Amino acid sequence: MFRKIVSNLSFSPALVGQLGFYAKRLRQEEATRRLGLIFVVLALIVQSLAVFQAPESANASSPNDFIRGGIGKSINNFLAPYDNNTGNLKDIMNYVGITREEITSAKYGSFISGNNLSWGRSSLYGAARGEQTVPITNASGTVVTTVYARPMTLGYGANTRVYGWIGHSAKIGWFTIMQACGNIATTIVPAPPAPKPAPTPVAPTPVAPAKCRYNSNLLADSKDCQPCAGDNSLWINDVKCSPSIVQSKSALNVTQGSVDASTVIANGGDTIAYTITIKNTGLASKDVTITDQLADTLEYSTLVDNGGGNLDATTKTISWPTVTLAPGGSQVRSFVVRVMDPVPATARGLSDPTSYDCHMVNVFGNSVDISVNCAAPKVVEQVVTQLPKTGPSENLLFAGIVLAVTTYFYARSRQVKTEVRLIRHSLNAGTI
């Protein structure tokens, strides 16, 4: 169009009107292309920020972590809390049998989850699914915390590649300190340390007084000469005279007709009633504090009836006052939660794959697993675990091409606009 007007201008001066109209259209195009160029530059800046300052998961830590939020790129981020025994981390490693020298000798690498055991601070699956409870004792033999070891196939699957520091322990062999959470992975759970030997009884005097009928090593008038509460033929401190607390739990989906909540999918707004039971099947009484960890449950629900218990908002643990359970005695507690509506679409946990996985898992003796009807983005997340890894080079190359094309058309508009202005000046000067 521009070339046609210019070539015929000397033969038909009336075309100068069309040239003015064309100049007006060029100004409009230049403004549009300038605006497009500005937006492309802004998009390139945002893209650069995403490349050089990579985003982090909004759900990158869990109460199950040995080190909340993971240990990053340096094993020193694990050694610092180890040396300070933060969260009894040193006691845990000593109990497992991993020394500081073995930790510092570990090399960064990766492994396939397979049949290995993943350790953590929270009970996620229960004994019925292979999770082992490990009471951790310090150097004096006192229990200071409890951790749990479970097959990695439960949370990670059988073929997931996991990154961390891989080492070898003289006591348990292969181990890994996982980068995302600071938890350890091993192939075995070490046996607990042997109990201290019982003191040698004092030899009886030549003139033996009356002996305790329940324990011949005691005198009849000893304050410890008492029968076992559950079996009068046993001494009160006999190994067999001990409590045995059995825990169990069930849940009903009240909204869907009070059916077993683990057999239906919970929808937003559903009310779920949990019932927990403790029973002493042993031969001795025991004081028991009833506690239930609700961190995974409360990811998708809120507590609407605590059943007389107290909820710790920090640890997400509900507890009831201590009770004394006699042999054969039992206690029942209940509480009610309501599934959030709408159901959160929070991304799955980075350090804990069971976090925000569209399941509410609660362990109290046995495991109660309730599926949640999650939103469409979560369904996509479960099918496609990650987007294609195009890398920063491809992204910046594409953005650079778009910027070059946009710059070209903007520069072309300015050039044509300048040419029109020169032609109109020559026409007014009479040189055309």
* Residue 67: per-residue pLDDT: 92
How many other CB atoms sit within 10 Å of the CB of residue 169? 19
> What single DSSP character describes residue 181?
T
The answer to whether residue 192 is domain-embedded is: no
> Phi and psi (nearest 5°) for 400?
-65, -40
Residue 376: give its domain's CATH number.
2.60.40
At 86, which amino acid appears?
T
pLDDT tens, 90-134? 999 999 999 999 999 999 999 999 999 999 998 888 888 889 999
> What single DSSP character describes residue 266?
B
Q: Verify that 274 and 362 share a domain, yes or no.
A: yes
Q: Verify that 304 and 273 share a domain, yes or no.
A: yes
The answer to whether residue 274 is domain-embedded is: yes
Q: Verify that 280 and 326 share a domain, yes or no.
A: yes
pLDDT tens, 368-415? 999 999 887 776 665 555 555 656 677 777 778 888 888 887 787 777
The answer to whether residue 41 is domain-embedded is: yes
Q: Verify that 289 and 202 share a domain, yes or no.
A: no
The answer to whether residue 66 is domain-embedded is: no
User: Looking up tokens 């202005």, which residue turns up?
Assistant: 421
At 16, which amino acid appears?
V
Mapping DSSP to helix (H, G, I), strand (E, B) and coil, where does residue 17 land?
A: helix
User: Looking up tokens 């990811």, which residue turns up?
Assistant: 299
Q: Verify that 342 and 264 share a domain, yes or no.
A: yes
Q: Verify that 133 and 91 share a domain, yes or no.
A: yes
Q: Verify that 123 and 168 share a domain, yes or no.
A: yes
Cα distance between residue 212 and residue 382, in whole Å:
66
Q: Verify that 371 and 395 share a domain, yes or no.
A: no
The answer to whether residue 254 is domain-embedded is: yes
What pTM, to 2 d.p., does this model score? 0.60
* Residue 195: per-residue pLDDT: 65
* Residue 384: per-residue pLDDT: 54
* Residue 3: per-residue pLDDT: 59
Q: Verify that 309 and 378 share a domain, yes or no.
A: yes
The answer to whether residue 180 is domain-embedded is: yes
Residues of the chain falling short of pLDDT 50: none
Q: Verify that 22 and 112 share a domain, yes or no.
A: no
Q: Verify that 92 and 167 share a domain, yes or no.
A: yes
Q: Verify that 181 and 126 share a domain, yes or no.
A: yes
The answer to whether residue 161 is domain-embedded is: yes
Picking from 166, 186, 206, the residue at the C-terminal end of a domain is 186
At 208, which amino acid appears?
A
The answer to whether residue 193 is domain-embedded is: no
The structural domain count of the chain equals 4
Nearest by Cα to 98 from 184, 211, 210: 184
Structural domain harbouring 423:
2-54+391-429
